Structure formats: C-alpha cells, structure tokens
Amino acid sequence: MELSPNECKVLLTLGQLGREAALDDLRTTGLQQTTIMSAASWLASKGLVEVRETPTTYYSLTSEGRADLEGRLPLERVVSGMSLKELMVSLQGTLTPQVLNFVVGYLKRSGSLKEGVVELSVEARQYVSDGRSLLELLSSRPLPTQEIPSPLAPIIPDYDKRGLIKGKERVVRTLSITKGGKRALKLVEAMEEEITQLTPKIIQSGAWRTTPLAKYDIHTFAPTLPRGRSHPITSAISRLRRIFLDMGFTELAGPFVEPCFWDMDALFVPQDHPARDLQDTFYVEAPSPKLDQGLIDKVKGVHESGGDTGSRGWGYQWSEEETKKLVLRTHTTADTIRYLSRHPEPPVKAFCIGRIFRREAVDAKHLPEFYQIEGIVMEEGANLEMLIGLLEEFYRRMGLEIGIRPAYFPYTEPSLEVVTHIEGKEMELGGAGIFRPEVTAPFNISCPVLAWGLGLERLLMLQLGVQDIRELYANDLDWLRRH
C-alpha cells in the first residue's frame, strides 16, 4: 500500500497526538484544511484512519448581546429596595417594551418581588453573574456547546431566545487511527526523508544529490476534476441567439435605464396604467433625458385624441413631465420601438435578449429581475397567421410544442399569449401581437409590425425540469454540474 506525502504527514501527526483529533489539531502539519481533509479521506478509504462526523452547535454573540456586554445587562440595572413603580419609571426609555416585560417577568419568577418591592434573590444574582460570564466568554469567538462551562449551560436557551446569542449547527470532523493505521504508522516512522517536489532551492543547494527522490507511480488513481462550463442561462442565450440569426434576424441591444417615453408612452401605454405604479416599476432618480420634441408632440396627440390614426386615443391630458421620468426597463420592447423609429421602412427583422426589471414578489415562479426574448418583424402583408407560424417555428427549434390563446395588451391588437403544458398544467411563456396604429403612426411606419416578448427563465424551467425559478440563480455547484 502506497501513501502520498500528505497522507504520511497526517498519519504522523495523529501518531504524535496519540488521541482522536479534530481538523484544527492537524494544522501543525502545515497543510491547508482542504488538503488535510483530502488526505484523511484517502487514509479512511485505505482503512488506516476513521473519520467521525458530529453535529455540533456553535454559539456566538449577536449585535444585541454585544451592546449589552459593553453597557449594562437589563437585570444589572435593577436596584434592591425600589418599588415596582419606581423600577418601571427608571427603566422606561432605556429598555424596549419587550426587554422591560422580560425584566419584570423574571423578577416575579425568581421571587425577587415581595409586596411590590424589589429584593434580588440569590437565584437572580447568580443569573445576572452567569449572563455576563456567558457573553464575555463568547465575545472573542464562537464556541461549541461542549466548550461552554456546565454552570452556564442552563441559561443558553434563554439567552438564545432573547436574541443575545445565536446558535449555528456545524459538522465537526474528528480523526482517529485504526489498528491498521498504527501498523502503517510504524512503517512511515521508519521511512527516511524523501524529496517529493523539486524546487529551485533544492536544485541550487544540491540537496537532491544526497536526499532520495520519491518514486512516482503514473498509474496511481487520481480523482477527475470537474471541467468548467457555461451557466445554463448563458448557454440558453447563445442557443437562442443562433436560432434568431439563422432565421435572418438582426440583434439589438439597449440600456437598462429608459425614459418612460420609450418604455411606455411610445407603446401607447396610458399614463394612468397600473404598470406605472411604484409597486410595479422601479423608478430612477436622475436628470431628465433630452428627447425629440417632434416625437413627443406626435405621441402626445395619439394619447389625447388618437392623432390621425382614426382612434379616439385615451382621452386624457397627457403629461410631458411624466414621459421624461426614468425607469429600469420593464420590457425590451423599448429597444425595438426605438429601433423602428430609426428604421421605419420595411423589411425589418430584429431581436433582443436582455434583462428587464419589475417589482415582483419573489416566489417559485417570479423574480424582480429576469430575461426577456424580444422579437419584431415588419413587412408588407404581415398578419396574425405569420406571427403564429414564426412563434411555432421558434419554439420547435427549441424543442417545445406551444399553444395560442387570446389576450390583451395596450400596444398590440390583436394580442395573444404563448402557452405550453407541463404535467397537465398550462404554463404561460409570453405575449405577442401586432402593434396598434397608435404605436406605429407617430414614427411614420405604415406596414404591420409583428411583435413578441417571451420569458427565458420559464423556458429553461421547462427544459431542465426545474420547479422553482430561484434554482436557476442559486449558484449550487452540484446542480450546475448536473445541468
């Protein structure tokens, strides 16, 4: 049986200690903790050491506990001979109502209140002394339960409940030499020193001439190291980009921060729409951007009266101040409408894959920041049938079958939602439709514009079998290696 130099060091140190040892005890080897654990695992696989794992609770001070330690503990402020009323008056304003209730409750429980007068009992005085001792003990570093003196152990649950200390469970690994390990130790002790790694210092000193060189076995088993790879989201974006490019689309990119003009007003979203509320959208405090006044006037006219589109608009007084407010973009459609304003002549086929931001409550299906897959097609004769065909082809290339159902969006008519089915349940993937004349007319666009915005994370959840969207961003190495 062959042992590596690190295995020999760990075995020798265990022999010198002559007892069961924790990983911290083996630091005298000069090895890193991960190296020690690796060597210990190999020794255990060879039956030379036994590794024991014990769940242990470590206690440490909280900020509240440290503040009490640096000042006076609540019960240290209690003076014998005071009436309960005097005590309450003296402590009010210096203690929170919760702590004040604890003080009064403890005085009653410990028999320190006699006929409304405070007289600290022996139990209460010991409780105060033990409390300060416990906080001082934990002030330098976290300690496991077994290292806390037994007289202080009874008050640990109470101080933990009050939030002065907190416990965190860790797994403590200890090593001990087996009978086979003791036999191997004798052989290791009898071995003469060998050079296991040639360094410039050893070569220059000539020590390699007199000290034996360790023999290396190229057939010795070595664990396979996991290879680096792209995150599943990065891989999905690359695949989506390739699909769009293969279908003849041009890629767009835009800023995260947009004026409401491009994010909402240019898309015929009314200024009193719920999507503009603070609870739905992130607003940014910054100077108002410079916008084309001619475009502003055209969009204003469409909102107020429909302009020359034949629509009656929204019939309200449109605010130029509102349109200049800045938001974290709520969709990448802001990029596509800006692109169309600069390229009003057909044909146009463009896409954008980027992050968007909404005030969503975090749960298994929603995040406040996520990716949107945005696409537009503008050409003569474009219609709803073409849009559905594009969506079906796109998802076919992604390996999914989809369904279509009617929907409503302020800036498309007709509008539809893309859905699929998983485990018998319908799941929405995104929205699509044809831009309304109120959206395209201010930018002198006369051809139909097909548009869609689809969710990347939901697509990935389907493909990877993930039930909770948060798993995609948890950075769990084991999960990443599996996917």
Average pLDDT over residues 310-321: 88
What gap in Å lies between CA 45 and CA 463, rounded to an integer? Answer: 38
What gap in Å lies between CA 17 and CA 25, rounded to an integer? Answer: 9
The pLDDT assigned to 479 comes to 81
**Averaged pLDDT score across all residues of the chain:** 85
The pLDDT assigned to 432 comes to 93
| Residue 278 clears pLDDT 70, i.e. is over it | no
The amino acid occupying position 21 is A
Average pLDDT over residues 111-140: 85
Give percent above pLDDT 90 in the chain. Answer: 24
The pLDDT assigned to 250 comes to 93
Task: Please give the structure tokens belonging to residue 364.
Answer: 């298994």
* Least confident range of 70-79, 123-132, 236-245, 271-280: 271-280
Among 392, 377, 383, 442, which residue's Cα sits nearest to residue 413?
A: 383
Q: pLDDT by residue (tens digit) across 408-458? A: 988 899 999 998 877 777 778 889 999 999 999 999 998 999 999 888 888
Cβ neighbours of 14 (radius 10 Å)? 25
| Residue 191 clears pLDDT 80, i.e. is over it | no
Give bridge partners of residue 177 from the DSSP assignment. 49
**What would the CATH number be for the domain defined by 234-482?**
3.30.930.10
Query: Please, are residues 378 and 368 in contact by the beta-carbon 8 Å criterion?
Result: no
Confidence of residue 279 (pLDDT cuts 50, 70, 90): low
**What would the CATH number be for the domain defined by 5-59+172-209?**
1.10.10.10
| DSSP E strand stretches across 178-313 | 250-251, 257-259, 283-284
Confidence of residue 352 (pLDDT cuts 50, 70, 90): very high
The pLDDT assigned to 450 comes to 94
Query: Please, are residues 391 and 458 in contact by the beta-carbon 8 Å criterion?
Result: no
214 CB-near residues (< 8 Å, 6+ apart): 5, 194, 195, 196
Confidence of residue 251 (pLDDT cuts 50, 70, 90): very high
Confidence of residue 240 (pLDDT cuts 50, 70, 90): very high
